[in-house]
Amino acid sequence: MVLGYLLYEAVDLGINVLKLTYNGVRGTYYWWYDIDYPEVAREKRALEDVEKLTKQLSDMLKEKEEEKEVEKEVEKEVEKEVEKEVEKEKAEQTI
């Protein structure tokens, strides 16, 4: 039983040493060549995509608001023209 426990601990220690060595070498490599970890690069790309889509959405909303303003102005002009036509008809009827 003691031998099994010692073997278990030895294997566990070996695995942890390998993990530390791998992570240390990997970190040194990315640091030396000034490269972002793939996980970090993926997150940066995702953030850039979100910012790009947010900008596109805000641009689309601005365009939509401008279209609404133009539509309101056109409606006002049409109403004024209709009122003028109605006044002309009334004036013609009174004559």
In tens, the pLDDT along 4-22 reads 999 999 999 999 999 999 9
Note the pTM of the prediction, 2 decimals. Answer: 0.57
Mean pLDDT of 39-59: 96
30 contacts 36 by C-beta, under 8 angstroms = yes
What whole-number distance in Å separates Cα of residue 44 and Cα of residue 35?
A: 13
Band (pLDDT 50/70/90 cuts) for residue 85 is confident
User: Is 95's pLDDT higher than 70?
Assistant: no
Residue 51 C-alpha from the chain's centroid: 4
Q: What DSSP character marks residue 53?
A: H
> Count of CB atoms within 10 A of residue 30's CB?
14
Q: What DSSP character marks residue 34?
A: T
User: Is 30's pLDDT higher than 70?
Assistant: yes
